[in-house]
Structure 1
Amino acid sequence: MDIYQICPEFKKGQITLRQTETQDAEELLNCYSDEAAVPLFNSDNCHGDDFYYTTLERMKQAIDFWDFSYKNRYFVRWTIIINDTEEIIGTIEMFHRIAEDEFNHFGILRIDLQSRFEKQEIINDILEIVNENLYQAFEVNSILTKAIPLAGERIQSLLNNGYSPMNKRFMGYDDYYRRNRVDN
């Protein structure tokens, strides 16, 4: 199945991931205007966008860009929804990276969460979905994701889910974790 023709929805534990839609903007603004959350977002190589949005208009512009990017097969953004309350708490992004370097054909995962949901149990559910589904969906054998030293909960979840610190720079950036595909 081509993820860029039909975007799957995933449900695991406390969360559901479904493709981000314009009507998510108001609730997503709670995440992207969260000053405590913004430093944990991975804005590496995003042309200066730090993902700190304080207006509904700017949030909608971001979602429009994410939709454009999906339609042009650049990346997929999923909205993270708490199953019990249907509250929208953030997004994840994933894409298959094509480049002429040692990280060619790697998956790049970005996780953006409201700070009050930056908890291992939520991140574990996200990573389990990623580990079970996104290697195949994006045709990659390795996934990279960023976690700055301040992100203790995220780092512990990454370690618990088979990710290891790279201990080297990726495109000039630090704090990346890598997990290779494990076929069961």
Structure 2
Amino acid sequence: MENVYEVCPTCKNNYITLRQTILDDAEELLKCYSDKKSVPFFNYDNCHGDDFYYTSMERMKQAIEFWNYSYSNRYFVRWTIILNSTNEIIGTIEMFQRISEDDFNHYGVLRIDLKSKYENQKVIDAILEITNESFYYLFDVKSILTKAFPTAKERVISLKKKGYIPLGKKFMIYDDYFVRTIID
């Protein structure tokens, strides 16, 4: 398989498609990132003060430009989530392999940002099916961390159903992480 930073794959299952986020997604993504009900579920840990609540097209485009810059510099990959039945853009996910001199070196970190009406088990299950099937290999990781606040009940249920368990300790200085580890 190609290096994820040389050729960004499109991943698909029966319910959703993940493809690299592009500037043309800005108008639809603004509906997610300006959704006040969605913001409490976003993981902005270690994002230098960005809470991902965007209310202007200009700010949304700046974010996408930063995501594309980050991809070209191999920091992380941001995919747009598309609902197959309607072609509606319903959010994004981000993934990267973390390089650090701590207990979480070479762990994958997954962020999931969804419009509030799609913060449900069906969508999250579909996302996790793709990530569980492909992302360990794409990012050369054995463990994936992702955040789910206790108030994100649907997300927590999906994570547990798909093999993620509470981390049980802080990730850096942050709480509310789940982890899934594969064994060779």
Paired position in structure 2 for 1:18: 19
Asked if 1:119 is matched to 2:111, the reply is no
Specify the SS of the correspondent of 1:49: coil
Partner of 2:33: 32
Q: Give the secondary-structure state (helix, strand or coil) at the position aligned to 2:47.
A: coil
Offset from partner CA, 1:51-87 (integer Å, 9 cap, x none): 0000000000000000000000000000000001100
TM-score under structure 2 length normalisation:
0.98
Q: Show the 5 A alignment for 1:99-118.
A: 99-118=100-119
Letter aligned with residue 154 of structure 1:
R
Give the partner amino acid of 2:121. Answer: Q
Match of 2:79 in 1: 78
Aligned-residue RMSD, C-alpha: 0.7
Identity score, percent: 64
What is the rounded CA distance, in whole Å, between the counterparts of 2:40 and 2:6 in structure 1?
A: 33
- C-alpha separation between the residues in 2 aligned to 1:41 and 1:105? 23
Q: What residue is the counterpart of 1:157 in the other structure?
A: 158
Q: Take 1:68 and 1:181, find their aligned partners in 2: how far apart are those partners?
A: 30
How far apart, in 1, do the equivalents of 2:108 and 2:30 lie? Answer: 26
CA shift, 1:135, in A, is 0.3
Q: Deviations over 1:114-173 (max 9, x none)?
A: 000001011001001000000000000000000000000000000000000011111110
Matched residue SS, 2:160: helix
Q: Where does structure 1 lack aligned partners over 5 or more consecutive residues? A: none
Number of corresponding residues: 183
| Distance of 1:55 and 1:116 partners within structure 2 | 21
TM-score by length of 1: 0.98
Instruction: Spell out structure 1 runs of 4+ moving beyond 6 A.
Output: none
Find out whether 1:128 has 2:129 as its counterpart: yes
CA distance in 2, matches of 1:120, 1:182: 26
- Give a deviation string over 1:8-49, Cα, whole Å, max 9, x none: 001112100000000000000000001010110100000000
Q: 1:36 & 1:61 partners in 2: Cα distance?
A: 22
Question: How far has the Cα of 1:182 moved from its partner?
Answer: 4.5
Name the CA distance, whole Å, in 2 between partners of 1:30 and 1:182.
Answer: 39
